[in-house]
Amino acid sequence: MSMLTPPGMGGKYRITGDKYPRMRRPSGRRRIVLAVIASAVAVGLIGWGTLQLIDVFTGGDKASAAAPAAKDCDRDRDRKQAAPAGSSDAAKPKPLPEPGQIKVNVFNATPRGGLAKDTADELKKRGFAIGEVGNATKAFDKKVKGTGILLGAKSAADTAFPVLGTQLAGAEPKTDGRKGGEVDLILGTKFKDLTKKADADKALAELAKPRSTPAKSGDKNC
């Protein structure tokens, strides 16, 4: 009987040989080691992929970023030239009307008599077309605290108002729902007289100059 056989045991339980049985390493530790290795590989792959993405979005565009800015300006210029006539790029400021094309109704909202007639006569001398002349309606009578009000359709805000406004400094522009092109000049309590003709003519001349559209900050190098 071998020395490895426990006392009292024999037969099929007898252990022969002079070596102890080989003991296997617990399988749990192997799984842990493999999991750690797999995690390290995954982290490495993720880091490599991130570096590739950064290179694509930064370094890959270096050549295009170094192109002259003039090419961008050329593209913008071509786009504006190809824009339809009704688009915002092709839109141009409306031409201002001549004084003779503006029909002015003059109304007196002050207690002073004859003010509307005298003002209308002077505007007529300066080339404006005169319509109705008289006292202001109840909605404005003795309620206009400034020099006056320019009242007309919304379309007059950037056409007739600037031209008529050269004749009365400080007049307040207001719009209503009217459809016609005539404009009301309602004289207020602070009204003394129209702007001096020389100053008004100078202001009209400034308005007649071509109005250029300010360049955008992105077009300063074009």
pLDDT tens for the chain, 222 residues: list them. 555 555 655 555 555 555 555 555 555 677 777 777 877 777 677 766 666 666 655 655 554 554 555 566 666 666 666 555 554 544 566 689 999 999 999 999 999 999 999 999 999 999 999 999 999 999 999 999 999 999 999 999 999 999 999 999 999 999 999 988 999 999 999 999 999 999 999 999 999 887 655 555 555 555
- 3-state DSSP call for residue 11? helix
SS3 content of the chain, % helix, strand, coil (to 5): 40, 10, 45
| The pLDDT value given to residue 53 | 60
The pLDDT of residue 69: 53
Domain borders along the chain are 99-208
- What is the predicted pLDDT for the residue at 89? 46
Tokens representing 20 are: 């102890």
Helices (H), the chain: 27-57, 62-65, 70-82, 115-125, 160-165, 197-208
pLDDT value, residue 32: 77
pLDDT of residue 90: 44
Domain range 99-208, CATH class: alpha beta
Q: Report CA dihedral (130, 133, 138, 144) to the nearest 10 degrees.
A: 70
pLDDT at 61: 54
C-beta of residue 146 within 8 angstroms of C-beta of residue 188: yes
